[in-house]
Amino acid sequence: MFFHVLLTTKCDLQCKYCYGKSCEDMEADFGDFEVDYSLPSEISYDIELLRKFCEKDSEPVLIFYGGEPMLCMEIMKQIMDEVRAKHFVVQTNGLHLNRLEPEYVNRLYSIFVSVDGDEELTDYYRGKGVYQKVIENVKLVRRSGFKGEVIARMTVMEETDIYEQVMWLLNNPDYSFSSIHWQLDAGFWKNDFSKRPFAKWVEENYNFGIRRLVEFWVDFMEREGEVLRFYPFLGVMQSLLKGEKSLLRCGSGWINFSIQTDGYIIPCPIMSGIKDYYLGHILNVHPLRLRKVYVGLPCVRCEILRECGGRCLYANITKRWSEAAYALVCMAVRNLVESLKTVLPRVRISIGSGKIELSDFEHMKYNSCEIIP
Ligand code: SF4
Ligand code: SF4
């Protein structure tokens, strides 16, 4: 099983799509859900409990998550020292990576670093100076001997030209990430849709950019014999090649669960405090016998459910966006899946000719990549 371990609810950045929108959503209600707004700001349970909980799973993968998990670096290190896990992963804003000793950095399997593209765009969304600091830190981590995967984790919205920004992260003269993943800021907040030109952007810019990127990705494969690790493409294409039907691709609610700062387990890391979805406490539930939570309508009636997987359990359950608004997100999902299906014969030919191999699409599933942006 995969577990996000929420070390803290605090973060030292005030990003436009996260902090900014949480302020705008302050008054928005959560419908009929009972929400606990008083979660401890840092882990309040004994790490020994986590050790005992994980011990019942022969190969747990722990993903450190926040807020900004590296604000609780000592607890993170304590967990790495005391809890046995198959792998440790961190999802971080990247600002504190320089403070983690190489001994610990090098025990991480993957490092997700939030970066939205080039300096101008990243600093626009995340704050002045953030980009430079993050790039310096990932270079330092590499110099310290880290051999694992450094995944650029982009949040994407209207100011983003997806093609240009993914290409920047791929070809950045200072640092190239091993993998790139992106997630649309869509369906997570109650009050943002009516203020955003989302429909225009998704139709005129984002979907077109995705088709261009897919074309580039398969051209590159054919020319260089390398499958670039763009997670949304990697995950969906692997399923298409294997004829695999997928459940929710981030794994939330069925193979990936999250442990709140108070020790209660929830299906997805951003469902913190939603009491209706508490699945028990690490003190008294078995990690392999957690109640499963799956997406409901409209996904269960969607003809591409087994290719998409459902995109997002949180959005599906909380319905922060109206049906009509969310339909635009589904249109983007369809565009991505269709674009990949269009190039599927070319990918098969590349595999058949030995230019690439099916194993080139291998990746650690449920590692915190949503796959479907
Ligand atoms: S395309 Fe939309 S409705 Fe269909 S499965 Fe995906 S998220 Fe659900
Ligand atoms: S895609 Fe949705 S359900 Fe999955 S981890 Fe992200 S917010 Fe949670």
- The whole-number pLDDT of residue 27 equals 67
Q: pTM for this one? A: 0.96
CA-to-CA dists, residue 1 to 54, 58, 96, 363, angstroms: 9, 9, 27, 16
Pocket residue to mutate for ligand 1, from 305, 313, 328, most atoms within 8 A of Cβ: 305
Instruction: Count the alpha carbons within 13 Å of 250 in the hemisphere toward its beta carbon.
Output: 28
Q: What's the 247 CA to ligand 2 centre distance in angstroms?
A: 13
Q: Coil, strand, or helix at residue 108? A: strand
- The whole-number pLDDT of residue 293 equals 97
Alpha-carbon dihedral sign for residues 98, 104, 110, 112? negative
Q: Is residue 342 part of a domain?
A: yes
Contact in structure between 283 and 263 (CB atoms under 8 Å): yes
Among residues 74, 82, 140, the alpha carbon closest in space to that of 111 is found at 140
Q: Is residue 173 part of a domain?
A: yes
Pocket residue to mutate for ligand 1, from 299, 319, 334, most atoms within 8 A of Cβ: 299
Report how far residue 154's alpha carbon sits from residue 313's, in angstroms, rounded to the nearest whole number: 20
Laid out side by side, the sheet with 179-184 consists of 179-184, 149-156, 108-114, 87-92, 61-65, 2-6, 256-259, 265-266
CATH of the domain at 350: 3.20.20.70
Could you tell me if the CB of 298 is within 6 A of ligand 1? Answer: yes
Could you tell me if the CB of 63 is within 6 A of ligand 2? Answer: no
Q: Is residue 74 part of a domain?
A: yes
Pocket residue to mutate for ligand 1, from 333, 340, 341, 372, most atoms within 8 A of Cβ: 333
Q: What's the 298 CA to ligand 1 centre distance in angstroms?
A: 7
Could you tell me if the CB of 263 is within 6 A of ligand 1? Answer: no
| Secondary structure element (H or E) that encloses residue 3, with its range | strand 2-6
Query: If you take atom 3 of ligand 1, which residue's CA is the nearest one?
Result: 299
Q: What's the 370 CA to ligand 2 centre distance in angstroms?
A: 6
Report how far residue 125's alpha carbon sits from residue 83's, in angstroms, rounded to the nearest whole number: 35
Q: What's the 372 CA to ligand 1 centre distance in angstroms?
A: 10
Query: If you take atom 6 of ligand 1, which residue's CA is the nearest one?
Result: 310
Report how far residue 275's alpha carbon sits from residue 272's, in angstroms, rounded to the nearest whole number: 8
Could you tell me if the CB of 278 is within 6 A of ligand 2? Answer: no
- The whole-number pLDDT of residue 25 equals 73
DSSP string, 254-279: TTEEEE-TTSBEESSGGGTTBGGG--
Q: What's the 322 CA to ligand 1 centre distance in angstroms?
A: 14
Atom of ligand 1 nearest to the CA of 327: 2
Among residues 117, 229, 212, the alpha carbon closest in space to that of 165 is found at 117
Contact in structure between 265 and 258 (CB atoms under 8 Å): yes
Contact in structure between 222 and 348 (CB atoms under 8 Å): no
Q: Is residue 117 part of a domain?
A: yes
Q: What's the 157 CA to ligand 1 centre distance in angstroms?
A: 19
Bridge partners, residue 131, by sequence: none
Listed in sequence order, the residues at least 6 apart from 206 whose beta carbon sits closer than 8 Å to its beta carbon are: 156, 160, 162, 184, 332
Q: Coil, strand, or helix at residue 183? A: strand
Q: Is residue 372 part of a domain?
A: no
* Residue 230 DSSP label: B
Instruction: Give the pair of three-digit tokens for residue 118.
Output: 């080039």
Contact in structure between 332 and 210 (CB atoms under 8 Å): yes
Could you tell me if the CB of 186 is within 6 A of ligand 1? Answer: no
Domain that holds residue 207: 2-361
Could you tell me if the CB of 270 is within 6 A of ligand 2? Answer: yes
Q: Is residue 367 part of a domain?
A: no
Helices (H), ranges, the chain: 21-24, 47-55, 73-82, 102-105, 119-126, 130-143, 162-171, 198-201, 207-224, 231-242, 305-308, 313-318, 323-352
Report how far residue 294's alpha carbon sits from residue 54's, in angstroms, rounded to the nearest whole number: 23
Q: What's the 252 CA to ligand 1 centre distance in angstroms?
A: 15
Residue-level pLDDT, tens digit, the chain, 373 residues: 999 999 999 999 999 888 777 777 766 777 788 999 899 999 999 999 999 999 999 999 999 999 999 999 999 999 999 999 999 999 999 999 999 999 999 999 999 999 999 999 999 999 999 999 999 999 999 999 999 999 999 999 999 999 999 999 999 888 889 999 999 999 998 888 999 999 999 999 999 999 999 999 999 999 999 999 999 999 999 999 999 999 999 999 999 999 999 999 999 999 999 999 999 999 999 999 999 999 999 999 999 999 999 999 999 999 999 999 999 999 999 999 999 999 999 999 999 999 999 999 999 999 999 999 9
Instruction: Give the pair of three-digit tokens for residue 12.
Output: 């030292």
- The whole-number pLDDT of residue 21 equals 73
Contact in structure between 300 and 306 (CB atoms under 8 Å): no
Residue listed under structure tokens 């670096």: 73
Tell me how many domains the chain contains: 1
Among residues 95, 145, 96, the alpha carbon closest in space to that of 115 is found at 95
